Amino acid sequence: MKIDETKEKNLQKQLRREALKKNWRLFSQSKLGMIGLGIVTVFLVLALLQPFLFFTGIWSEGIYHPVVGYDQIIESKLVVECPKEYPTPEYETFADCPGKGEVQKKMLYLAQGVEVGDYYDVYLQPAPPSRKHILGTDSLGRDVFSQIMEGSQVAFVLGLLSATLGVGISTLLGTIAAFFGGRIDAYLMRQSDLVLMLPTLPLLFIISAFAELKIWHLAVVLGILGGLGGSVITIKSQALQVKVKPFVDSARITGGSPRKIMFSHVLPNVAPLALLFMVFSVTGAIASESVLSFLGLLNIDMSWGLMIYLSQTDGFIFSGLEYWWLILPAGLSVTFLAGGFYLVGRGLDDVFNPRLRKR
Q: Report, in Å, the least distance between residue 237 CB and other proteins.
A: 18
269 binds other proteins (CB under 8 A): yes
DSSP string, 34-53: HHHHHHHHHHHHHHHHHHHH
Tell me if 356 contacts other proteins by CB under 8 A.
no
Task: Specify the residue, 319 or 353, whose C-beta has the smaller distance to other proteins.
Answer: 353
DSSP annotation of 57 reads T
Report 18-57 residues binding other proteins (CB under 8 A).
Answer: 29
User: With binding defined as CB under 8 A, does residue 259 bind other proteins?
Assistant: no
Q: Which is nearer to other proteins, 47 or 251 (CB)?
A: 251
Helix (H, G, I), strand (E, B) or coil at 298: strand
* Alpha carbon distance 152, 333 (integer Å): 8
Binding window for other proteins (CB under 8 A); candidates: 60-68, 194-202, 247-255, 282-290: 247-255
Q: Whole-angstrom Cα distance, residue 310 to residue 326?
A: 9
Residue 67, amino acid: V
Closest by CA to 117, choosing from 129, 128, 103, 131, is 103
What is the rounded distance in angstroms from the CA atom of residue 280 to the CA atom of residue 234?
14
For the CB of residue 13, give the shortest distance to other proteins in the complex, in Å: 9
Q: Which of 190, 194, 245, 332 binds other proteins (CB under 8 A)?
A: 245
Count the neighbouring beta carbons within 10 Å of the beta carbon of residue 302. Answer: 21
Tell me the closest approach of the beta carbon of residue 239 to other proteins, in angstroms: 14
Closest Cα to residue 217, out of 282, 271, 277, 157?
157
5 binds other proteins (CB under 8 A): yes
- For residue 359, the minimal CB distance to other proteins (Å) is 5
Contacts to other proteins by CB under 8 A: 1-5, 7-9, 11-12, 15, 29, 245-247, 249-256, 260, 265, 268-269, 359
